């Protein structure tokens, strides 16, 4: 019997097989190309910095005019390592990004090459705590070397429409695949959000460092007071 064209196709067949239709995803995950930088920058500014706990805390207490001043240029430069990932919907919207850095031996160099981009006063505060966490991860795990390539997951952001749907996990899977293909031994990340830390631990990352925000002070003052449950920056490591 000929199947009527307008009849809905079964998503799960009687034998338990899942149809292609059901498996089709409304987004595709790909390696981020330098051509995608404007999209990444827009995502960082409109989504990531607004929701990430320590940036959004500083935004709330600082001058509104400085909000986007040069924001995201340094982060976008990680795309050039060719190891970053993005999920794009069929309509071309960015659903998620993961910016990954190939940690070169001697992190100091990487740290300061982009200093000229730092006109926004928010950067140094965020960078200082992130670098502190990264340096402690290095202390625990050892410095990267020629024979021990380390991928640093710098930024993960999922669009609010796509949170809690398993996309974060898929982004981590793609990052792991890229790391394996490129001969990395470890993925490291300084997680500023309790939500990402939880997601990472569920994926198999191990927490090797915790710095409570209440203990991170500059000139005797606590720098970040994000809302609960974001109480600490954590160093997480995944061994490949």
Ligand X SMILES: CC(C)(COP(=O)(O)OP(=O)(O)OC[C@H]1O[C@@H](n2cnc3c(N)ncnc32)[C@H](O)[C@@H]1OP(=O)(O)O)[C@@H](O)C(=O)NCCC(=O)NCCS
Q: Sheet with 85-89: list strands edge to edge.
A: 27-31, 85-89, 94-103, 150-158, 186-191, 232-239, 206-212
Counting contacts by CB under 6 A, is residue 192 touching ligand X? yes
State yes or no: residue 168 binds ligand X (CB under 6 A).
yes
Q: Applying CB under 6 A, what is the total number of residues that bind ligand X?
A: 19
| Angle of CA points 65, 66, 71, to nearest 5° | 130
- Strands 221-222 and 27-31 turn out to be unpaired
Helix (H) / strand (E) element for 157: namely strand 150-158
CA proximity to 194, closest of 208, 167, 176, 212: 212
The answer to whether 43 contacts ligand X (rule: CB under 6 A) is no
- Residues 25, 202, 45, 50, CA torsion sign: positive
Quick check: 156 binds ligand X (CB under 6 A)? Answer: yes
Nearer residue to ligand X within complex by CB, 119 or 202 = 202
Q: How far is the CB of 86 from ligand X (least distance, A)?
A: 13
- Residue from 167, 96, 108, 169 nearest 135 by CA: 108
Q: Is 48 near ligand X (CB under 6 A)?
A: yes
Minimum CB separation of residue 13 from ligand X in Å reads 29
> Per the structure block, which two tokens stand in for 152?
């640093």
Q: Which residues contact 92 (CB under 8 A, 6 or more apart)?
A: none
Q: Nearer to ligand X by C-beta: 148 or 195? A: 195
Cβ atoms of residues 32 and 85 within 8 Å: yes
Among 72, 157, 226, 235, binds ligand X (CB under 6 A): 157
CB 115 within 8 A of CB 102: no
CB of 125 to ligand X, least distance (A): 15
**Residue 164 lies near ligand X (rule: CB under 6 A):** yes
The answer, yes or no, to whether the previous bond of 182 is cis (omega within 30 of 0) is no
User: What string of DSSP letters covers 198-225?
Assistant: HHHHHHT-EEEEEEEGGG-EETTEE---
Q: Is 52 in the site for ligand X (CB under 6 A)?
A: yes
- Window contacting ligand X (CB under 6 A); options: 36-44, 123-131, 163-171, 177-185: 163-171
Does the footprint of ligand X cover residue 15 (CB under 6 A)?
A: no
Sole binder of ligand X in the list 158, 232, 236, 237 (CB under 6 A) = 158
191 contacts ligand X (rule: CB under 6 A): yes
| Piece in contact with ligand X (CB under 6 A), picked from 87-95, 115-123, 132-140, 153-161 | 153-161
Q: Is 37 in the site for ligand X (CB under 6 A)?
A: no
**Region 199-218 residues binding ligand X, contact defined as CB under 6 A:** 199, 202
For binding to ligand X (CB under 6 A), which residues are involved? 48, 51-53, 156-158, 163-164, 167-168, 191-193, 195-196, 198-199, 202
């Amino acid at each position: 019997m000929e199947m009527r064209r307008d009849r809905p196709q079964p998503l799960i067949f009687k034998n338990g097989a899942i149809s292609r239709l059901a498996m089709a995803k409304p987004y595709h995950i790909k390696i981020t190309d330098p051509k995608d930088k404007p999209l990444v920058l827009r995502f960082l500014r409109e989504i990531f910095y607004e929701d990430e706990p320590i940036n959004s805390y500083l935004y709330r207490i600082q001058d509104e005019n400085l909000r986007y001043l040069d924001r995201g240029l340094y982060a976008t430069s990680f795309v050039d390592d060719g190891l970053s990932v993005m999920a794009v919907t069929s309509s071309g919207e960015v659903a998620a990004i993961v910016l990954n850095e190939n940690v070169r031996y001697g992190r100091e160099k990487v740290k300061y090459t982009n200093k000229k981009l730092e006109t926004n006063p928010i950067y140094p505060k965020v960078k200082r705590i992130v670098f502190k966490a990264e340096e402690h991860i290095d202390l625990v795990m050892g410095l990267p070397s020629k024979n021990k390539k380390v991928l640093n997951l710098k930024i993960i952001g999922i669009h609010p429409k796509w949170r809690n749907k398993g996309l974060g996990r898929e982004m981590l899977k793609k990052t792991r695949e890229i790391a394996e293909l490129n001969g990395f031994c470890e993925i490291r990340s300084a997680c500023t959000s309790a939500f990402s830390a939880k997601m990472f631990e569920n994926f198999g990352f191990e927490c090797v460092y915790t710095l409570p925000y209440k203990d991170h002070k500059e000139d005797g003052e606590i720098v970040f007071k994000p809302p609960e449950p974001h109480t600490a920056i954590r160093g997480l490591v995944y061994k490949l």
